[in-house]
Structure 1
Amino acid sequence: MESLGGRVESALEPIDTTTAAGRFQRGMMGEYAAFQSELIGEGWQETHHNRRARGLPAIGGKRFGYHWIRNQGETERYEINPEQAGVLAWMYAAYNSGSGGPGIARELNRRGITNAREKPWHAKTVRDVLDSGFGAGLLRRVPVDADGVKITGPFQQIVWDQGAHPAIITSDEWEKYKRTRVQRGQQHPRRVAARYTLSGLVQCGDCTAAMTRRDRTGNRERPYVQLICRRSTDSGGVCMVTVSEHRAIDAVKQWLTELADDIGDAAESARRSEHLQLTTRATAEEAQRELDRIDKQLATLRRHLIAERMTEAEYDQTRAELLAEQQTAVERLALAKQQAATEETEPARVVALGLLAEWDTLPVTRRRDLLSRLIRKVQVTPPERRYGLAGISIIPAWAPA
């Protein structure tokens, strides 16, 4: 400022910077302010290291899928939130199955599920929650430079440490997410988020090659789109099987109608079914965690008896109580699995109901995702007679390979 002709004055300290003593005093004040700032920074660094050493995130706060326990007189910890845990597990499963961050965010917002800060979801918040690895029982390291500024790097360079909180997803599911995440980064966005309803589903019934989409008119208002055998256009030597995209979609919708049988309150049925599946999964996981806890307590109880820290009467009474709790947890787990099995016998019909009811309002990526749950491929066969129409058959996802 002074090099540009200005002057710095203090409203509280009588410093005359035109004298050597005044400039010295100003320099001392600046150094003291820097000392205080660095001292605070060192204190925060020590606090962060201490928290990480205890298996806690460097900075506290709410985490989706968990209750943040920090009551006075209790050890700070994170415990699983049963309602959010099933949703978080579904988010990982949806991403591993082909859904992207925007699609997952839209689905969560459609269901009225908010994030940890009780705000609507966005693609970035979905990605941040999944990338953190917190749901896998891990803590993400946040690298900083010499000035303490966060360094942002690619996903492949992230390092995670084991946390003290329980995991919601398994290590296998986490490893699958990491592989899928890296593969997604190497793919073209169109392969991740389908641009068309039948992307990747239509197959030539003559040579089994995929069928590509061609607009024959170039008229955006009234296009005529054909699906053509890719092998016939790329290399020739095979029958050129074609079908209009409109006919193929009509065939798919007719198949969905036959699968659904009736269409009463379809969208609501689909939402209730998905909510029930999330609840059932959360109940099963909670019961399994209860069984694991009781097993550990039984093992500890046996060690206390061997070390003569308790009498046999105390051992028998405590063991009987734990066995009763174990039986209750086993029954809860069996009931949850039975409900899950019951739900698995009807998901096709339920998904078909919701898909038909909201066909025109669903985004293409969501519509394509729901179709992939029901349909393995739409097979197009050459016409039986010249100038006839190609045959279309729907191969369901549950048909033998």
Structure 2
Amino acid sequence: MHIAPLSPEDPTELGGYELLGRIGHGGMGQVYLGESPGGEPAAVKVIKPSVVDSETRQRFAQEVEILKTVWGARVAALLDADAEADPPWLATEYVEGLDLSRHVGSHGPLPALLTASLGATLAEALATVHKQGLLHRDLKPANVLLGPNGPKIIDFGLAVFAESSVSLTSPNTVVGTPSCMPPEQANGERPLTPAVDVYALGAVLLFAASGHLPYRADNIHVLFHQVVDATIAPDLSGVPEELVPLLTAMLAHRAQDRPALDDVVRQCRALIEAQGLKVAQARRKLTSYTAAPAHLLDELLAVPRAGTSSKVPSEAATAPADAPPARQGPAVPAPSSQQPLVPPPAAPGRPDRMSADTPAAPSTDRTGQAAARGAVPEQAAARTAARSKDRGDAGRRSLRHSAQARITAQRLREAYAASTPF
């Protein structure tokens, strides 16, 4: 997740949360990275003063009340809110990681196995929300965060009660993201049903597997026409063959032709098990594949030590200010998405010859023996110095590289442990 610095016009504190940077914005407000007095990170959403009026406050208060009822392991939780404050704000759980849109844009589409795992996870999460009598209504790649403990759904600002025809918006107003919107929502039909989220999830999985959405057009009116025209099929180009039947069903034009979320979970499980894995194993693979390599929050909060450079590489993890000092040696970059999280094991029977944990072999050189006894003649010392000039630099470099390798391995193990959800 990109974190931008605060501008001079931004507040530095809201509701006890210290604001540290910007992590998103929209037409109605700004989202900040905040920190509670106890050090808990949070995403703090604030309504812009320029758009605050009685109607906006009412809608914001409704959003807060809805978020209070939404729960689940795959949903970013509401932490606190004040719809009567000036400006109104709410704080939700901060998920450290890229959203699906940014991840696919940076790293390309997910393999079929990981897309199926993402589908099972998100379908189960949405089913839990639907059991609470709610619909998301605006599920899209940008609203799926790929955190260190797996994907989470955010932004229930457009959520409405499934059994009600009352919307948070004015009658006959279409609100949402057209590229992920089912035909009935684009046509302004009421009431909406859980099938709208099934369609949107299909669009999200299509994007995850192929890098594009069901319909694409530069003009929004053309895009709406494509969505509502039953004769124009969604674009499934680039989708792995095994995913085509499921995505075709989820993106069906008629709501009644789409599968239920429980059926989506079952079909995703079948795809995973057909490749010889259990669902939990596939989810761990998904998390390992998508988790951000750099600890962005630590990077933002890091305080440079005296005598060190204040520059922080964009792809490097930075230790917290209160972390114990590392062993002597050059700085080691954090593992990137292109590097394995765990270094490959050494070949059997070939220990690191320069490991500091391995005692050096005793020298058979008489001069060396004399040196050990502390009685080196001047000529022997000269010969020893000459040999050291030829070999010492190489030996010191090897020892230094061995120490760096141990530090690297330890940090990689720590990074792996921090990003593994088990």
Fold conserved between structures, TM > 0.5 = no
TM-score by length of 1: 0.28
**Larger helix fraction of residues:** 1
The structure with the larger Rg is: 1
